[in-house]
Chains A and B, each alone.
Chain A
């Protein structure tokens, strides 16, 4: 099974072509919505790498299958069996080692991404939240529970929001101005620290443009942090089957410039005082 030099060269060229092609596909074909949070850009980095590796493997193996089916098909009138080759130890070691290395690389890389998203950070609970909590209750953390941006700037203090999910709506409560809203308003660039709670069944908080999702499980108050980076209006979607109107359980997050957000905050903050 020693290959002649020419075919070794061809194989090498095909492999290089595959790697370049796969990488090009992964880097240039965009399947994701816009990235509107600090989380999202980190996520997209991982996605591109996984997409590239996936494209290389998929086209490689599919190509091999199709080539084999054409090259080794039985010609009409041809009799007899194929080669009685049942194993080849070096080859088998090779294709055990390659996936192992790829998996190790992907695993380490995604650990790094996970860490950068704040997955490994300790849960940070805002002090003022304690008033609303039963004293002994345990708080659970979603991804990005720590503050995403270390406190480099003075404005890094996070905006606390209490999210209540119930069949079939999200309610947002701003403890600072005692605002109760059906939509989430946040200023661009400021970390938001949400405390999620469910009144009835399991819901999930998902903003595709932020690339974050967290199940809201009754009995498990959960922290979820994110920092929006691009102004706009993005959907908030319930991603866990929660009943007949699950598909309609949606809301919006409105990311605004800080001054516009302050406007909204001021107007609603006053109203809520007169209201209740």
Chain B
């Protein structure tokens, strides 16, 4: 272990930032405040997106379209996809945890551009409200989150344009965030901290930010062209005016496939932080982990057309994208084996954070296996645009990213608030989520294989039973939010005091008080060169039960 602990100085740091609860509603420049703003804002949108998902599952309990009108159903599924991706997972895995943790991990007082950071966050609530309000104005977009033309050109223009505007704002926010992370990680590292000594989440965020900076602008440009098609009646993507609808698909997926990595790479990083702490072992294979992330970043740019195997793509293109996509499984596989090896021989505490992380591994392995299958052209031809694909990507983004978000909340909540979450409620939350999630999405693989396309309000009656099974799973997932909400709100006031470092963790965010002071450390920033140096002094006693702040009582 090489950590430098600063002497505690009691001089309060004077600055002009708002204090107290009000700072969470202000244009605060503190990266920790912005991180929590991202988290809470994202969670509110998660509840909205979840309500929309419930509406979809209620509609699908019967094979006829009876719960909502058909065009409203399409609006619901469009909003559900857009909200969950652009307002929940992307802002939370990047914005929330990135902003909170990255300055700690690189030993900085704040992000490189605090003002840009606050601007990036404050673009999100208006964009989200704009998107949702479009439903009440004139009906929101109804061409799916992919907004394929010519459908998106022919559906009511107002909703589609608001959708475009909203996604442009969110994309802009995401680019600002990406620029900020790259600058912070590469340029704001504490002197003495080498790149290969950074915690893994820094690498994940560096890779993610590269993806964001290089791919999001392409989406922005594409959506601008699409809005021209809608407003000015140009024919970029409109075949009846000489355009080409497939060009849109290429440009769209050039962003939207990397977007999947933008959602899961940070999750990989977060899991890499959580597993070593709770299994009391160093992260296995640090350097291979770093190389895997960077390989995934490079390959992530070369696989987009696997979403278009049925779009009349030429054979050579299909083959190239099959091979490139399959090979992403190699670096991803390495990461999973490394995580299992991190568990192996550890002293594992199976708390809520750990449960969600291990749930993530199991779910993601499943989603990864169906992903490799989907990468094969002949396999994809049958299941493309069916419930098999719906199930696959929910295993990736829900079973993957969302499980990690919950795991991270359980892990860092003591740092955020200075109080512990209730463990029993946490485990109950995990059990409900895991069972509900698998019950909801595992049967959907069968539905897709047997002939149920995605984005339909009505289906063949032979699928009713399995759909109802899936809806019950969705109901359990919806209920699982309740113990979590209660836990998160109640514990903020009544939870037991956490102390500075309840998990006896070694990464820098735990080497300060909980919650941390405005500029992260009262003294100089500590230099942590071995963030995973567990087991070096095994004789040292540690306590795991979060109820006793035995490690550090000076909070």
Contact = CB atoms under 8 A, between A and B. Distances in A.
A231 interface: no
A84 B276 CA distance: 11
Contact of B154 (A87, A201, A206, A241): A201
A241 B151 CA distance: 8
A100 B337 CA distance: 14
A21 interface: no
Contact of B70 (A62, A88, A200, A244): A244
B282 interface: yes
Interface string A207-223: 01101111101111010
Interface stretch (B140-148, B256-264, B521-529): B140-148
Interface in A6-55: 31-33, 42-43, 46-47, 50, 53-54
A72 B334 contact: no
A174 interface: no
A74 B365 CA distance: 25
Contacts of B377: 110, 114, 119, 143
29 contacts: A31-B446, A43-B378, A46-B376, A46-B378, A47-B379, A65-B361, A65-B362, A72-B343, A82-B279, A82-B347, A82-B348, A83-B346, A85-B281, A87-B288, A88-B284, A96-B330, A99-B329, A103-B327, A106-B326, A114-B376, A142-B310, A208-B450, A213-B310, A215-B310, A220-B245, A241-B143, A243-B151, A244-B70, A248-B458
Interface in B342-396: 343-350, 358, 361-362, 365-366, 369-370, 372-373, 376-379, 381-382, 384-386
Interface of B: 65, 69-71, 73-74, 142-144, 148, 150-151, 154-155, 239-240, 243-246, 279-288, 310-312, 315, 318-319, 322-323, 326-327, 329-330, 333-334, 336-338, 340-341, 343-350, 358, 361-362, 365-366, 369-370, 372-373, 376-379, 381-382, 384-386, 445-446, 449-451, 453-460, 532-542, 544
A57 to B, nearest CB: 6
A244 B379 CA distance: 28
B318 A119 contact: yes
B542 A80 contact: yes
Interface string A237-261: 1111111111110000000000000
A264 interface: no
The 9 closest A-B pairs by CB, nearest first: A219-B239, A247-B456, A84-B535, A82-B346, A208-B451, A140-B312, A81-B535, A82-B281, A110-B376
A113 B380 CA distance: 12
A68 interface: yes
Interface in A57-112: 57-58, 61-62, 64-65, 68-69, 72-74, 78-88, 91-92, 95-96, 99-100, 103, 106-107, 110-111
Interface of A: 31-33, 42-43, 46-47, 50, 53-54, 57-58, 61-62, 64-65, 68-69, 72-74, 78-88, 91-92, 95-96, 99-100, 103, 106-107, 110-111, 113-114, 117, 119-120, 140-143, 200-202, 204, 206, 208-209, 211-215, 217-220, 222, 235, 237-248
B376 A119 contact: no
Nearest to A234: B451
A218 B239 contact: yes
B538 A69 contact: no
Nearest to B368: A57
Contact of A62 (B365, B381, B532): B365
B506 to A, nearest CB: 10
Given A74-B544, A103-B372, A201-B151, A31 B445 contact: yes
A213 B348 contact: no
B456 A246 contact: yes
Contacts of A61: 336, 340, 361-362, 365
A239 B453 contact: yes
A208 B150 CA distance: 25
Contacts of B534: 81-82, 84
Nearest to A113: B378
Contacts of B346: 68, 72, 82-83
B369 A58 contact: yes
Nearest to A139: B312
Given A54-B369, A80-B535, A204-B385, 18 more contacts: A31-B449, A43-B379, A57-B369, A61-B336, A61-B361, A80-B538, A81-B540, A96-B333, A107-B376, A119-B378, A141-B312, A218-B240, A222-B312, A241-B144, A241-B454, A243-B74, A244-B70, A244-B142
Contacts of B142: 244
A242 B153 CA distance: 12
Nearest to A238: B453
A143 B381 contact: yes
Of listed A47, A82, A143, A246, residue having the most chain B CB within 10 A: A82
Contacts of A247: 65, 70, 453, 455-459
A50 B533 CA distance: 40
A69 B533 CA distance: 21
Contacts of A120: 315
Contacts of B453: 204, 206, 237-239, 247
Interface of A: prevailing SS: mixed
A106 B372 contact: yes
A104 B466 CA distance: 35
B230 to A, nearest CB: 14
Nearest to B143: A241
Given A50-B379, A103-B327, A84 B282 contact: yes
B535 A217 contact: no
Of listed B71, B283, B347, B349, residue having the most chain A CB within 10 A: B347
Contacts of B318: 114, 119
Contacts of B376: 46, 50, 106-107, 110, 113-114
Of listed A119, A218, A239, residue having the most chain B CB within 10 A: A239
A87 B338 CA distance: 9
B412 to A, nearest CB: 21
A202 B155 CA distance: 13
B354 to A, nearest CB: 8
A204 to B, nearest CB: 6
Contacts of A81: 280-281, 347, 534-538, 540, 542
A11 B449 CA distance: 35
Of listed A69, A110, A212, residue having the most chain B CB within 10 A: A110
Contacts of B322: 107, 110-111
Contact of B284 (A85, A110, A140): A85
